[in-house]
Amino acid sequence: MVRDDELHIIQVQAIAGISLPTTLVVKKFQNENLALQVDDNVKYHYISEMFLLASNSHDNIIKVVDLIQWEDAIMLVYEYPVNGSLQSWLHQPMDAGRPLSWPVRRLIAIGVAKGLCHMHHRCKRPIIHNNINSNNILLDQNFKPVIASFDAAQMNMAGLDQPLPMVGLPLGNFGYAAPEYGVAASELTEKVDTYSFGVLMLELVTGRMANEAGADGHLATWAWKNFTKLMANQQEMFQSAVDRDIPDQARYMKEMATVFMLGVDCTVGNPQQRPSMRMALKRLRRGCGRGPFRGLLTCYLL
């Protein structure tokens, strides 16, 4: 058995080849029985993650900067972006006087979409992350997002849209997990990442926690039950769903509505009806905020 991976965040003052001072994350792989040395099972886990990241180099994907090997453990060292996780900014503000503006949230949305698009469409073999959530999106000094935590990631040797065997629901992904995870006979495709990405879009617009249950269920369920009412008539209805911490909301209301609708489309129950990440990225870049507000719903239902 391999012990659950340990993460250690450390401040570094002096190390060759890295701008200093900086923060690093050390991820430790070792046997569940600490008296045992590194065996093939431990090596398999760290080699799998190393291989996925080595074949997956992109500005919006976390990078390994070093490997440390001892007799009883192997450690991967990553750069840790200075602004921490998206979750901490949305739900535990690191700087209460500086909430995330909509342009910054838009930058984050596009960056995550670019990273997932690269994984699904531009790698030689598609990679499914399986654990996209706001805690696994890290932000650098300019709030550029990087996708982290590849513990549950899978490389699909059969190619895009081909099913993979079911994996267990990753810890911390409740509220972001596609409904396929709850079906015993289900097989997974890259559309599970699309679903989680959609929840992330809803989270960016509304500021709601993905797994916060309410009368209408979790965030994705709530959005599906209410989007017609929120989008069809008056802008004021949609504005009531927008995160109140976003400054200058009126200026960006139409754009936020398009991202909200993208989130709704990405979280449909049938994975075949979800857009690909390539299409999701195109929609984010292009937007659909033309014409009167009440036309947005029609635009997305065509």
CATH architecture of 86-301: Orthogonal Bundle (1.10)
Express each pLDDT in 153-175 by its tens digit: 888 877 777 778 766 666 667 89
Spatial distance between the Cα atoms of 285 and 283, rounded to a whole number of angstroms: 5
pLDDT mean across residues, the chain: 80
Name the CATH architecture for the domain at 6-79: 2-Layer Sandwich (3.30)
pLDDT digits (tens, 9 = 90+) for 25-68: 777 776 655 555 666 665 666 677 777 777 778 999 998 887 77
CATH 3.30.200.20-classified regions of the chain: 6-79
Has this prediction a pTM greater than 0.75? yes
Torsion, Cα of 173, 178, 181, 183 (10° steps) = 150
Instruction: Name the more confident of 288 and 264.
Output: 264
Residues of the chain with CATH 1.10.510.10: 86-301
